[in-house]
Amino acid sequence: MKNSISLITLLVFCICCSAQHTIVDVSNKIDWTTNTYLKDTNNHFEDVLGTWKWEEGNSSFEIEFTKITNYNYEGINMAIDFILARYKYVKDGFLVADILNNIYDPLNFKATLVFDNPTEYIFIINDVVSDKTKKGQFKLSSNGLDTIATYSLRNLEGMYVNQSNIEFSLPTQLTLVKK
């Protein structure tokens, strides 16, 4: 009997804890704040997840997108599904940057996609060589055979403090093919 009461108490506690967040789909543009779980309920992210690649001669850019689910931000009682990325860039046969083997770290990410609509995302990427960040559009389409994405990056708005003198080393405009 004592074990049954303990088990019931544990189940009620688990149900209450999991019901604290209001689930909102990532496509919903409402203001979401604390006690919200911004969730990819309609699987919008599926179209971008995986490996994308651009190649031209001895140059290539490869980026791998993965979905992080139910990431909890401490202190504000909010959870979110989002996309992080790792990349590798080779220019004229020389390795410029390679973070494909890095661990996905939500607190120290180098690239992310933010959902805008099913075919467009906001793309934010940090160049690990110059430690500069740019953002722009990541647009999905098809050429009849392959799923492709084009992106175009620009400088972030605002003031920069302690910026390096090294130029941004990643391509700022490309068309990628999903592999």
**pLDDT at residue 9 tops 50:** no
Is residue 15 classed exposed, middle or buried when 0-12, 13-18 and 19+ CB atoms within 10 A define those classes? exposed
pLDDT per residue as tens digits for the range 52-67: 999 999 999 999 999 9
Sign of the torsion angle spanned by Cα atoms 46, 133, 80, 13: positive
Of the pLDDT bands very low, low, confident and very high (cuts 50, 70, 90), residue 5 is very low
Question: Could you identify the residue written with the tokens 């004592």?
Answer: 2
| Residue 168, helix vs strand vs coil | coil
Of 106, 141, 111, 115, nearest in space to 44 by CA = 115
Alpha carbons 18 and 70: distance in angstroms, whole number: 11
What 8-state DSSP symbol labels residue 156?
Answer: P
pLDDT per residue as tens digits for the range 117-127: 999 999 999 99
Of the pLDDT bands very low, low, confident and very high (cuts 50, 70, 90), residue 175 is very high
pTM over 0.95: no
Of the pLDDT bands very low, low, confident and very high (cuts 50, 70, 90), residue 30 is confident
Range name among 1-10, 20-29, 133-142, 159-168 with the lowest pLDDT average: 1-10
Structure tokens at 4: 């049954």
Of 87, 96, 99, nearest in space to 63 by CA = 87
